[in-house]
A and B are shown apart, each in its own frame.
Chain A
Amino acid sequence: MTLTETAPLVVPDFGDDAEDRKMAFVCSKGTLDMAYPALIMASGALEQGVETHIFFTFWGMDMINKATTGHLKFTPVGNTATHMPQALTPLPGMTAMATHRMRKQLEELDIPDIPAFLTHLSDMGCHLWACKMSVDMFNLDEDDMIDELDGVLNVSDFVELIEGAQTMFI
């Protein structure tokens, strides 16, 4: 009979005893390509059990405005990373085509559109906040914004809320 000695049991560290972490994202852009980074990183943070807050401000309000959240666009204008001749980018239909293409690529990767993504984040426990000044500036009220929104905050309340958080401005 052969006895095989086995290694001691290793249990993965799921960080249950770790100190609570917080992350905050400030979304200030309203284009399709600039909407995704915060949402994807927030999703990763939530999966890691990190308390996560997103603050939507200025053009980022388009991400949570019911009238625009499903219609964000991507434009190649002024974006040299598309590697298109820049003189062609402002031609009629170019933004619509680039948007269509980006949406298709995202869909192929099974990445949800912005409204479904925000619902998914909210289900994961993400806190979504609208900037008070932007709400006033764009004449919005709570009915104009997505149902998943936690509320409207002024900057000072938001800063107080995210004390100790790792914060990213996008």
Chain B
Amino acid sequence: MPVTTIADRPVHVDDEGFMTEYQEWDEDLARTLAGTIGIELTDAHLEVIRFLRSDFEQNGVTPTLRRVSTVGNIPTKTLFDLFPKKPARKMAYVAGLPKPAGCI
């Protein structure tokens, strides 16, 4: 796994650039990650990211879009507005988690 520098600190990432170490992430880092894909984090973004992080911590897998809407109570349309085009992967990237593995 490559180690790269994000926000002046060493961070473990996979070949695509997704973070691999849960503990290395914090919200400052999230702002930098979001910035690299043209997203400026707002409270609405952070609410989504915090749900992803806590759900991952409990279940060990990145939640799918449907799970974010049904369990996290954040409407799917909102997710597409906040993280345009590929919300599932963009959310995971900013949250420092692996890409979601589930199909739906």
Query: CB within 8 Å of B: which residues of A?
Result: 4, 6-16, 40, 43-44, 47-49, 110-112, 117, 120, 123-125
Contacts and interface: CB of A to CB of B under 8 A. Distances in A.
13 contacts: A9-B4, A10-B16, A12-B16, A12-B18, A12-B89, A14-B85, A47-B65, A111-B104, A120-B76, A120-B104, A123-B76, A124-B65, A125-B80
Contacts of B87: 47
B10 A123 contact: no
B81 to A, nearest CB: 11
- Consensus secondary structure, chain A interface: loop
Nearest to B87: A47
A43 B93 CA distance: 20
B13 A40 contact: no
Contacts of B90: 14
A6 B5 contact: yes
A40 B4 contact: no
B17 to A, nearest CB: 4
Contacts of B44: none
Given A10-B16, A10-B17, A117-B104, 5 more contacts: A6-B10, A11-B37, A48-B86, A120-B76, A124-B80
